[in-house]
Chain A
Amino acid sequence: MNTEYDPQPAWRRHLVVGIFGLLASVLVWRAFDLQLTNREFLQGHGDQRYLRVVQTEAHRGMITDRNDEPLAISTPVSSVWVNPSQLVQNRKRWAELAKLVDMSEDQLETLIVPRRKRGFLYLKRHVKPAMAEAVEAAQIPGVHLTGEYRRFYPGVEIAAHLLGFTNVDDRGQEGIELAFDSMLTGTPGKDRVIKDRLGRVIEYVERIQPAAPGKDLALSIDRRLQYVANRELAKAVQKHKALAGLMVILDVNTGEILSLVNQPSFNPNNRAELKGEFFRNRAVTDLFEPGSTIKPFTVAAGLESGQYTPSTRIETAPGYFRVGRHTIRDIHNYGNLDVTGVIEKSSNVGSTKIALSLDADILWKTFNNVGIGHLTQVELPGETNGRLVDHKHWREIEHATLAYGYGMSVNALQLVRAYATVANGGTLYPVTILRREQPPQGMRVMSQTTADAVSLMMERVVQTGTAKTAQVYGYRVGGKTGTVHKNAQGGGYAEKDYRSLFAGYLPVSKPRLAAVVVIDGPRAGQHYGGLVAAPVFADVMHEAARILNLPADAIDGVPADSGVRMASSPTRTLPAGPRIQ
């Protein structure tokens, strides 16, 4: 053996091993780096290559009437969108595109050129199906269609003020659409899925967001009553050349609004250029002085106090009455009336004498208890609160004028609520625009005896008093007319500007419906509530009673023997039939 044999120097061995060791450790470090440190980032990118997000639809909830008839429905429509950065490369097809979406080429240029760096731009939203098909067929690169939803109202103008409408992004702007927007709007669900080459979903990986479809909403109104009320109100407003009108029908036992209509109305499907004046839900927002329609409550205060009975006599001669510096007048000298006669003839003098003989707080309490001066808190936006001044601040003249409905203000809902309270025997129920699924909680605010007595007086008004035009064949009707001077421009009251009112209910034996009709500013000659507003009540209630199948309680003028209230047998017959157009 040659002991001096040394094929390689040791350092060369060590160098190679060292280099390999270094390379190996670099690999190990890189492995650690990729697997541990940058894991999420790289995994995310890997997932992005084959995971997709899929949306489930959630359109706006439907609004229906109390019988589940649709009032507002969301329907799919197409919208055209473009990718401007892609579109600028296709300049030669712009003319074709402009024609397809009904724009001029210049308009298209001004729209796209400033945004040419962007990837998304709505070109035209909610286009007609014909236009959508044409755009689809043209297959212009960079131009796409997307599905959106649009609200349609099959009833058109009959419930326009109640429902309101939505904007192009399907958010509520007015009315119920606004008040219940969050409940009606749905949230689309998002799932993370794996799709295969052909685009079919093959695996659900993750639920990013659960779908929450928009909830349907059932209103308390009856579409058929709404239609009849709207038709008759429109006719009356046109006939009397009035500025506006409204009618509200309430279910006296549940407080549900069965109908609420305003004129002028509008078409929510096509709102082009309309002013806010058309959109105002006057039944909720407009305040007015109730005038003579308050007199039954003045009398109720007198009856509750024990100082009066329906037959107590009041001297109204000579037809006027001085309070301080003011004179309160009646239309005629009605002479010596009983309390029932004061209501029947609508005597201001009689009402004032009754009111002044009562303590201020008793009178105030009666008005307050039936809801005057209180919001109804109905679920519609924009309700204004009526005014009833605290009795501590009443001067004598205010105490007097309140007796016949001046010096306080109400909106139509507050007034019909007060009448419903008398009609159902003295219980105040909350007013609602939503269909009730359970009977409501009411509060007794008037004794049954007083309510019954006032009700019979109001029946006399319709039988022989100022509201004979409110008679409805087959039913006993109770109510009260009002003809109120509107406020003049510079303060005080206008000489010849009126509001015609009628508030009433039927059937008297077992009341079901209460209604208020207000005709604002009639200028075709007639202005008395009995001539302008009461006939609307009669025409609407004649059909409403038939639609709702209310049992008749006065066939051929003879009251059927049912229910609590029985008048002392009226013997005169009702007219041959209602006016049919």
Chain B
Amino acid sequence: MTRLALLALLGALVFLSALQVVTTRYETRLLVMALQALKTQRDDLEREWTQLLLEQGTWSTHGRVEALARNKLNMTVPRASELKHIRS
């Protein structure tokens, strides 16, 4: 009788571990899919960042800023006589 019970118990445990394997496998799969999605998102963001950097670089080209400052904002470089040196 006890032998049968033991056998049944072991059989049940095997069955439970089998279920656990299936569950773990499934969860791994979900995590891997999430990882791949994040990697793709990272690549997309990095691509967007380089494009933004390029756009910023183009807008902030020194020649363009100088032309705007001189022509649109009427700015000039201060002359020596307009400078005040402060000794600390």
Interface residues of A (CB under 8 A from B): 54, 56-57, 59, 62, 69-70, 73-76, 152, 154-156, 158, 200-204, 223-224, 227, 231, 473-474, 543, 552, 555, 576-578, 580
Contact = CB atoms under 8 A, between A and B. Distances in A.
B85 A155 contact: no
A227 B60 CA distance: 12
Interface in B47-62: 47, 50-51, 53-54, 57-58, 60-62
Given A75-B50, A202-B32, A203-B32, A223 B80 contact: no
B contact face: mostly helix, strand, loop, or mixed: helix
A232 to B, nearest CB: 12
Contacts of B51: 75-76
Nearest to B25: A203
Interface residues of B, number: 26
Interface string B31-48: 011001001000100110
B17 interface: no
Nearest to B85: A555
Given A76-B51, A158-B62, 12 more contacts: A56-B43, A62-B50, A69-B57, A73-B50, A75-B54, A154-B54, A154-B61, A200-B33, A201-B36, A202-B32, A203-B28, A577-B80
A contact face: mostly helix, strand, loop, or mixed: mixed
B53 A70 contact: yes
Contact of A202 (B29, B43, B58, B81): B29
B72 interface: no
B74 to A, nearest CB: 14
Contacts of A57: 43, 46
B11 interface: no
B62 to A, nearest CB: 4
B85 A552 contact: yes
B57 A155 contact: yes
Q: Which 7 A-B pairs have the closest CB atoms?
A: A154-B57, A577-B80, A227-B62, A201-B36, A473-B80, A577-B79, A202-B29
Contacts of B58: 154
Contacts, number: 69
B76 interface: yes
A54 B76 CA distance: 56
Contacts of B63: 156, 227, 231
B47 A577 contact: no
Contacts of B80: 473-474, 576-578
Given A76-B47, A155-B57, A580 B33 contact: no
B38 to A, nearest CB: 11
B32 A580 contact: no
B82 to A, nearest CB: 8
A53 to B, nearest CB: 14
Contacts of B54: 70, 73, 75, 152, 154
A69 B46 CA distance: 17
Nearest to B30: A202
Contacts of A62: 50, 53
A202 B30 CA distance: 7
B81 A576 contact: yes
